[in-house]
Amino acid sequence: MLSGWGRTARSRCRVIAPHGVDDILQALALAAGNGLIARGAGRSYGDAAQNGGGDVLDMTGLDRILSIDAERGLITAQAGATVAQLMARLAAHGLTLPVLPGTRHVTLAGAIASDIHGKNHHRDGAFARHVAAISLCTPAHGLIEVAPDTDPDLFYATLGGMGLTGVIVGATLRVEPLPSPWVAADVDRTDGLTQTLELMSGAERRRYSVAWLDLLAEGPKMGRAIVSRADPLVPDRKTPPARRGRRAAGSSYPGTLSRGPAFEVPRGFPGALLRPASMRMFNALRWRATPRRERERPLALVPYFFPLDVLGEWNRLYGPAGLIQYQFVIPSGEERTLERCFELMRARRLPVYLAVFKRFGPAFGGPLSFPLKGWTLAIDLPAAAPGLRAALDELDELVAEGGGRVYLSKDIRLRRDMLAEMYPQLDRFHAQRARVDPHEALRSDLARRLGLCGAAG
């Protein structure tokens, strides 16, 4: 029984652990019935990496890092290598990944198939922008190498393509120098949504930018935020905390990437303990504990980028019913639509337990890539909240009306009729699907639900 990280819609699948390309090609050739989809660490929140009644390729065993070319700034690795593994190996060469997601446990292939993004999209784009080449097993053409200069249509369709253009076996990424395992952060605390939007609408001079929003606060306090903007901390700018020293902290950095969580939420955790009243109190305490204004605060890289990784299996906090993470993007120039989305969340009294707000830079990638230039909000909600699905349907309508879209890698409930409105280049995606997978061996629960595999839909 498989589910996404949200632990909501489960499905029974046959799981296959391939040992190499031959096993993958054989599985593709023998796929029947409900077909096959590849799966990495299972960190997609919805149903993208499961396939009820069909096969699922568990790619986590193919996790070798094949080469690092420090001079050219390239790393080549197998599909199942995680962000943590890549970063740890790169650190030995004074290098790092240019885009980091909110967890270090995402696999390389999952990062490409979801076109993940980080706190620096406004400056550096999403993960896909830094992919140089992909090794792809396709039903029609076997193992092929795709790159922007050799097969741009298939290459870009694979970036954000949810694993439906082929099984990603490995990839080559462009990497960059690692100045230090620290960032220098400016932190501001705002009193409400209007002040938050004003602050974040200004010129962004920092490489990393993110806001934590309190959407459970009532009245004018709703949308108060802790806004963090940071740059890599270079050695001659500021001395990190003296309790360990820069040298000691830097030498331990690769080890922190492989370190396990400090705590783990036990199985059977009662979701009733996580309630709007308790979260409202927690949010208020967190907001008050943050300085009104702080500049150049040294923060270790790992907890800054991966704050939730300190808590193992944190999705169990929501109980057996699970959670829905809903993420949307609204284009620049549609700020009134963004405000209407916040107004709707307030009117429907959505129990938003976690809200993260960021700016996106220009779009890059394929027809299913999520980011657009504008504003993105990701919210965590208990899946069992009364009226939640209807309220999210209303939000879908607002988002589509404003030219925005929801993130498919986190979706579990989008209606099929909304997909074409949010992703207007679906014909390009279907053309590549027909070319590399004419009999639709590649299928998933998400693909069937949204009609991305027509014959099975």
Split at pLDDT 50, 70, 90, the class of 235 is: confident
The per-residue pLDDT for 457 is 37
**410 pLDDT more than 70:** yes
Residue span(s) of the chain under CATH 3.40.462 come to 182-262+274-414
Q: What is the pLDDT of residues 175-222, one digit of tens each?
A: 999 999 999 999 999 999 999 999 999 888 999 999 999 999 999 999
**172 pLDDT more than 90:** yes
**424 pLDDT more than 90:** yes
**454 pLDDT more than 90:** no
Q: What is the pLDDT of residues 281-311, one digit of tens each?
A: 999 999 999 999 999 999 999 999 999 999 9
The per-residue pLDDT for 249 is 44
- Would you say the pTM of this structure is higher than 0.85? yes
**Distance between CA atoms of residues 146 and 344, nearest Å:** 43
Q: What is the pLDDT of residues 308-361, one digit of tens each?
A: 999 999 999 999 999 999 999 999 999 999 999 999 999 999 999 999 999 999
**259 pLDDT more than 90:** no
The pLDDT > 90 percentage for the chain reads 89
The per-residue pLDDT for 241 is 53
Q: What is the mean pLDDT of residues 122-130?
A: 95
Contact yes or no for 176/73 (Cβ under 8 A)? yes
Between 151 and 204, the more confident residue is: 151
Split at pLDDT 50, 70, 90, the class of 4 is: very high
Third-level CATH fold of 59-178+419-456: 3.30.465
Residue span(s) of the chain under CATH 3.30.465.10 come to 59-178+419-456
Task: Tell me the two tokens of residue 244.
Answer: 């360990």
The per-residue pLDDT for 340 is 96
The per-residue pLDDT for 239 is 57
**Distance between CA atoms of residues 402 and 363, nearest Å:** 16
What 3 state SS string does the chain have?
Answer: CECCCCCCCCECCEEECCCCHHHHHHHHHHCCCCCEEEECCCCCCCCCCCCCCCEEEEHHHCCCEEEEECCCCEEEEECCCEHHHHHHHHHCCCEECCCCCCCCCCEHHHHHHHCCCCCCHHHHCCHHHHEEEEEEEECCCEEEEECCCCCHHHHHHHCCCCCCCCEEEEEEEECEECCCCEEEEEEEECCCHHHHHHHHHCCCCCCEEEEEEECCCCHHHCCEEEEEEEEECCCCCCCCCCCCCHHHHHHHHHHHHHCCCCEECCCCCCHHHCCHHHHHHHHHHHHHHCCCEEEEEEEEHHHHHCHHHHEECHHHHHCCCCEEEEEEEEECCCHHHHHHHHHHHHHCCCCCCEEEEEEECCCCCCCCCCCCCEEEEEEEEECCCCCHHHHHHHHHHHHHHCCCEECHHHCCCCCHHHHHHHCCCHHHHHHHHHHHCCCCCECCHHHHHHCCCHHHC
- Mean of the per-residue pLDDT values of the chain: 94
**247 pLDDT more than 80:** no
**238 pLDDT more than 70:** no
- Name the architecture of domain 182-262+274-414: 3-Layer(aba) Sandwich (3.40)
**14 pLDDT more than 50:** yes
Split at pLDDT 50, 70, 90, the class of 240 is: low
Split at pLDDT 50, 70, 90, the class of 271 is: confident
Residue of 275, 281, 118 whose CA lies nearest to 214? 281
